[in-house]
Structures are given as C-alpha cells and as structure tokens.
C-alpha cells in the first residue's frame, strides 16, 4: 500500500534517481588521486588485471574489488609501495541476493603520507566463507577480523586466534547476517501488543 514501486509514484517520492548497483567497473579517468593510485598499483603489481576484479569510483571514493587469493599480496604492496600505512578495520556485509558472492569484507585504507583513502572489497560465497587474514600486514585487523567472524561467519585463514569477540563464546549463529532474526520480543502494554521491529508492518 505504501511505498513507491514501479511507476505508481505521484508524490515525488521515488523521484530520487537511483544509481543501480554498478555491475561493471568505472571507466578511466577516475578523477582526483584515484588515477595515481591505480597507476602506481599497476606498476608495482604486474598481476593487477588478474587480481583486481573491478574498480569502482562512486561518490568520491575508490573501491578495488580484489580476489581473495591475491588479497595478502595486494595489501602488502599497498602498504609498502603505495604507503597505505593504516587499515581502518574490516566491515562485513551480507548480500543474500548476490549468489556466490554473498559475504563481502570491506577494508578501508588510509595513507597518512599522501592523505588518501581507498577501499578494498573481497567477496566470498556462503558455501566457502574463507578469506586470508590480514593480521600479518596490519596488526590492528586482529580484533576486527574476529568481529567479522563473530557477526558474519567469515573465516579468516591464518588468524592467530579466531574466536568470538562480541557474543558469548558459546553462541550459535552469526547475528548480523540477513537470515538471522533480530530476536526481539513482543511488548505488551495496557491491552495492546507491539510486535518486535522485524515483524512489524513495513512502510517499505
């Protein structure tokens, strides 16, 4: 009933132009320092075309989609040659609709020397959620990878101690996956029951 779907929209809502999730790479020139970064990486890493699946420039940010087998190599080169000294953690995202690439791990990188930011993104299927660990490259990823494992079930190979960090140690399931319920309880107040947020009518 609510929500603009298709072209039944008359209120102007839904008039926002939606950029469809780009399934292809962005084209050169990327703009800003992104070209420099891409060129430096290609020069330092001859297997660039093989390892980097996609380069996306969106909303002023550069995302390199890397194959998981090459992740450690690319990261080492980014850290040593392109001087991205700091990795700001791992963010997991679960795209259940993206078959065979359901779990993404996003690593924002920061270069303090050049004052630049880029992002690495790795996609793995649900059936084989293994990603090589980047603890050897940036030690600060230790707890972040534990958190991504705890919340999404992505197993980081080579991590010194991959255990649950936020949930109790004997918890079952990975809470932030889309197929894990929010787990609320209905709230009763003066004769009415309000269902938990994931079961309410959605104005989507």
Q: Does 75 bind other proteins (CB under 8 A)?
A: no
Closest to 134 (Cα-Cα) out of 114, 152, 109: 109
Q: Does 106 bind other proteins (CB under 8 A)?
A: yes
Nearest distance, CB of residue 187 and other proteins, angstroms: 7
Q: Does 191 bind other proteins (CB under 8 A)?
A: yes
Q: What are the beta bridge partners of residue 61?
A: 58
Q: Which is nearer to other proteins, 29 or 140 (CB)?
A: 140
Please state the length of the chain: 204
Nearest distance, CB of residue 188 and other proteins, angstroms: 6
Query: CA 106 to CA 158: how far, in whole Å?
Result: 18
Closest to 47 (Cα-Cα) out of 73, 84, 82: 73
| 129 to 168: interface string for other proteins, x by CB under 8 A | ---------xxxxxxx--x----------------xxxxx
Of the candidates 1, 5, 7, 15, which one interacts with other proteins according to CB under 8 A? 15
Closest to 78 (Cα-Cα) out of 27, 127, 134: 134
Nearest distance, CB of residue 21 and other proteins, angstroms: 5
Residue 13 neighbours by CB distance under 10 Å: 10
Q: Which is nearer to other proteins, 29 or 166 (CB)?
A: 166
Residue 105, both tokens = 């791990």
Nearest distance, CB of residue 189 and other proteins, angstroms: 8
What values do phi and psi take at 86, rounded to 5? Answer: -120, 130
Nearest distance, CB of residue 125 and other proteins, angstroms: 18
Residue 25, both tokens = 């790479």
Residues whose CB is less than 8 angstroms from the CB of residue 16 and which lie 6 or more positions away in sequence, other chains included: none
> Under the rule (CB under 8 A), what is the footprint of other proteins?
2-3, 11-21, 58-61, 63, 85-89, 91-94, 106, 108, 110, 112, 115, 117, 119, 138-144, 147, 164-168, 171, 175-176, 180-185, 187-191, 193, 196-198, 203-204
């Amino acid at each position: 009933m609510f929500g603009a779907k298709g072209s039944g929209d008359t209120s102007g809502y839904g008039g926002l132009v939606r950029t469809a999730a780009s399934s292809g790479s962005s084209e050169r020139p990327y703009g800003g320092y992104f070209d420099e970064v891409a060129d430096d990486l290609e020069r330092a890493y001859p297997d660039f075309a093989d390892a980097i699946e996609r380069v996306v420039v969106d909303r002023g940010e550069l995302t390199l989609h890397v194959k998981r087998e090459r992740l450690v190599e690319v990261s080492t080169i980014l850290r040593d040659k392109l001087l991205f000294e700091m990795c700001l953690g791992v963010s997991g995202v679960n795209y259940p609709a993206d078959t065979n690439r359901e779990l993404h791990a996003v690593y924002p990188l920061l270069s303090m020397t050049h004052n630049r930011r880029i992002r690495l993104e790795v996609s793995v299927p649900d059936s084989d959620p293994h990603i090589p660990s980047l603890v050897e490259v940036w030690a600060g990823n230790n707890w972040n990878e534990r958190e991504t494992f705890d919340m999404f079930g992505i197993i980081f190979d080579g991590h010194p101690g991959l255990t649950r960090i936020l949930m109790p140690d004997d918890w079952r399931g990975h809470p932030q996956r889309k197929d894990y319920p929010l787990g609320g309880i209905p709230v009763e107040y003066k004769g009415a029951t309000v269902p938990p947020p994931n079961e309410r009518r959605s104005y989507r």
